[in-house]
Structure 1
Amino acid sequence: MNWLELHIDTTHAGLDTVTAMLSALDIDGVIIDDETDFQDFLENNHQYWDYVDEDLEKAMAGKSRITFYLLANDTGYGKLGEVRVALQKLKESRDDCGTLLLSMENIQDADWETSWKKYYKPLEIGDRLLVIPQWETADPKGRVPLILDPGLTFGTGSHATTRLCLTALEKAVQGGERVLDLGCGSGILSIAALRLGAAEATAVDIDDKCLTVAYDNAALNGIGKDTYTVKVGNVLTDEAMRAQLGGGYQIVLANIVADVIIGLAPLVRSMLAPGGLFLCSGIIDTRAEEVADKLREAGLVIEETRSAEGWFAYTCHF
């Protein structure tokens, strides 16, 4: 089935006007790209990242664009004609909506629903793991296969921070451990721990999408809720959540960002069993020393440091 991907370039002030115009034409499923919202989002969520891709910032510079889709059939082209007429009227009546340039691309269902999948292939990590996207097939050749469908929200393990953490994890898991995965996303780390021989794992994320994605990925690997539990919450701010999680974990994982790891450092002792390990990753090189200092201030000993592509990971214990 063919679709028309349509873009209307406007201004920040014109976004509501153009969206209302489209809604009046029964076009409500729109995607809005806006530099102002993007910058506000960055400013108000510093704690969730240390690095924003420069290409992304450049792509968003000065952008206020509305994207929507119409079927490439007679009905869709008819609706497109209505949009053109409405845009012309808008140009004549408003001077704050920018160019109102309408551009169009023809795409296939598969192109916009699944094209991102071509970038993910089976990936060997460390000495024991083979991460296999659900839509691929691969011979594990003696490695432990970890099947993953991240959806569009979470990663597959190809990022350096996840690879660093998985490499540390396969060394840490000897068999029978209880594992806590903080900021679990797709569940890749905690599911990998279970595939490597851990006895049980609990995973937590602030994004409620993790419930579906992580449980689905666990099922792909033959792991059920008898050994795997996924929760939604903020461990840093929610004391009730921390109490619910309890302690006694032989391995605590946190592949997040520097600020969250710094916040977790004083809390980890209550989560770990005696002799347990805290594996943290997602630390950009410019903050690696700062994070290491905070971990030591909290009483943690860094026993191993890993780095790749400008990112750091630490294996720690008390």
Structure 2
Amino acid sequence: MKWLELHIDTTHAGLEPVETLLSSLGIDGVVIDDETEFQDFLENNHQYWDYVDEDLAARMQGRSRITFYLETGDEGFARMGQVRLALEALKRQRSDCGTLLLTMDTLEDADWENNWKQYYKPMEIGERLLVVPQWEQEDPAVRAALGTRVPLILEPGLTFGTGSHATTRLCLTALEKAVQPGSRVLDLGCGSGILSIAALKLGAVSALAVDIDDKCLDVAYENAAMNGIGREAYTVLAGDILSDADLRGRIGGGYDLVVANIVADVIIALAPAVRPLLRPEGRFLCSGIIDTRAPEVAGALTGAGLEILQTQEADGWFAYLCR
């Protein structure tokens, strides 16, 4: 089936009247892009990010846009005509809604379902790992590569954490050397579970993964199952280790390796809490640190009594291995 993908360019003030207009025509499933909300999010959630992609920032510059979809065919084109007439009337009524320009693309069903997959291909990481998107695992070339590498199978569409970002690659490369047979691993801010699952594939005996987003529970368990890892070896919990005493009790301590691929502010806040999580000779591996924050994070780690054993850098991002 083909679909019409329609965009209405407006202003922040015009979003609500345009959405109301569409709803009056029976169109309620819309996607809203708004620079004001984007900037508000960045301003009020700075603890969760250190870097905003320049292309994303450019796309959001001055943008207030509503996107919706109609089936290609007589009914869809008739509905599009109704929208165009209604927009012309709205423009006459209000002067604060911008251009109200209506533009159109056409899509196949498969475009929605599969086009994003082109961005995820098998990746060799370090000396031992091969990150494999779930739909690529039957490819003969992938099977041949698996003769010498440990497969880490993921469904990248489920959530963040695919191995493609420099911070994740840094952690995975370091994991190859840090994980020893029989290691107990704690993954803080686990996302897709990629790091803790990789640790288990590399020889860890058990892993506990934690994230403040409860959506990661199902995602990490699903990715673990694709790698033949069951809940007897892998546990995923949701919550904030810094504010939830009950969660800290469930996590316990004595881990051989704690990993955290998050952002600088969270790692700085975590630093004083890391030592009780580790056994005496345990290691703490942290990444997600943009270069401009690296000295600050290093200072927080050493200030918390951790010794930095190794520093890695790639594409302007840093990772530290500590004890």
**Which range, TM-score by smaller chain?**
over 0.9
Q: Give the Cα separation in 2 of the matches to 1:215 and 1:188.
A: 11
Verify: 1:143 aligned to 2:143, yes or no: no
Verify: 1:81 aligned to 2:81, yes or no: yes
Amino acid at match of 2:20: A
**Contact in 1 for aligned 2:190/2:216 (Cα 8 Å):** yes
Q: Give the gaps of 5 or more residues in structure 1.
A: none
Q: Give the Cα separation in 2 of the matches to 1:208 and 1:150.
A: 17
**Contact in 2 for aligned 1:161/1:282 (Cα 8 Å):** yes
Verify: 1:171 aligned to 2:161, yes or no: no
Q: Give the gaps of 5 or more residues in structure 2.
A: none
Question: Which among 210, 216, 224 is matched to residue 218 of structure 1?
Answer: 224
Which position in structure 2 is the counterpart of 1:67? 67
Question: Which among 267, 270, 279 is matched to residue 276 of structure 2?
Answer: 270
Instruction: Tell me the CA shift for residue 152 of structure 1.
Output: 5.1
Instruction: Tell me the CA shift for residue 114 of structure 1.
Output: 2.1
Verify: 1:183 aligned to 2:168, yes or no: no
**Contact in 1 for aligned 2:125/2:172 (Cα 8 Å):** yes
Amino acid at match of 1:109: D
Which position in structure 2 is the counterpart of 1:48? 48
Please give the secondary structure, in 1, of the residue aligned with 2:135.
Answer: coil
Q: Give the Cα separation in 2 of the matches to 1:248 and 1:110.
A: 48
Please give the secondary structure, in 1, of the residue aligned with 2:161.
Answer: coil
Q: Give the Cα separation in 1 of the matches to 2:26 and 2:238.
A: 35
Q: Give the Cα separation in 2 of the matches to 1:25 and 1:127.
A: 57
Q: Give the Cα separation in 1 of the matches to 2:164 and 2:153.
A: 13
TM-score (norm 1): 0.97
Amino acid at match of 1:224: G
Instruction: Tell me the CA shift for residue 234 of structure 1.
Output: 1.5
Q: Give the Cα separation in 1 of the matches to 2:258 and 2:184.
A: 9
Question: Which among 252, 257, 261 is matched to residue 267 of structure 2?
Answer: 261
Instruction: Tell me the CA shift for residue 153 of structure 1.
Output: 2.9
Instruction: Tell me the CA shift for residue 119 of structure 1.
Output: 1.2
Provide, for residues 68-110 of structure 1, a one-character-per-residue CA deviation record: whole Å limited to 9, x for no partner: 1111122222221221121122112111111111000011122
Please give the secondary structure, in 1, of the residue aligned with 2:148.
Answer: coil
Verify: 1:230 aligned to 2:233, yes or no: no
Verify: 1:293 aligned to 2:299, yes or no: yes
Instruction: Tell me the CA shift for residue 284 of structure 1.
Output: 0.7
What is the percentage of aligned positions where both structures have the same residue? 70
Which position in structure 2 is the counterpart of 1:308? 314
**Contact in 2 for aligned 1:250/1:273 (Cα 8 Å):** yes
Amino acid at match of 2:156: P
Please give the secondary structure, in 2, of the residue aligned with 1:155.
Answer: coil
**Contact in 1 for aligned 2:184/2:257 (Cα 8 Å):** yes
Q: Give the Cα separation in 1 of the matches to 2:247 and 2:182.
A: 24
Aligned residues: 317
Which position in structure 1 is the counterpart of 2:201? 195
Q: Give the Cα separation in 2 of the matches to 1:35 and 1:247.
A: 43
Q: Give the Cα separation in 1 of the matches to 2:81 and 2:187.
A: 52
Task: Give the aligned CA root-mean-square deviation in angstroms.
Answer: 1.1
* 1:2-21 equivalences in 2 (<5 Å): 2-21=2-21
Amino acid at match of 2:22: L
Please give the secondary structure, in 1, of the residue aligned with 2:97.
Answer: coil
Deviates more, 1:60-69 or 1:135-144: 135-144
Q: Give the Cα separation in 1 of the matches to 2:79 and 2:276.
A: 60
Instruction: Tell me the CA shift for residue 277 of structure 1.
Output: 0.7
**Contact in 2 for aligned 1:150/1:213 (Cα 8 Å):** no
Q: Give the Cα separation in 2 of the matches to 1:315 and 1:29.
A: 46
Cα gap change, 1:152 to 1:217, in 2 (>3 Å): closer
Instruction: Tell me the CA shift for residue 116 of structure 1.
Output: 1.4
Structure 1 ranges of 4+ moved more than 3 A: none
Q: Give the Cα separation in 2 of the matches to 1:190 and 1:79.
A: 49
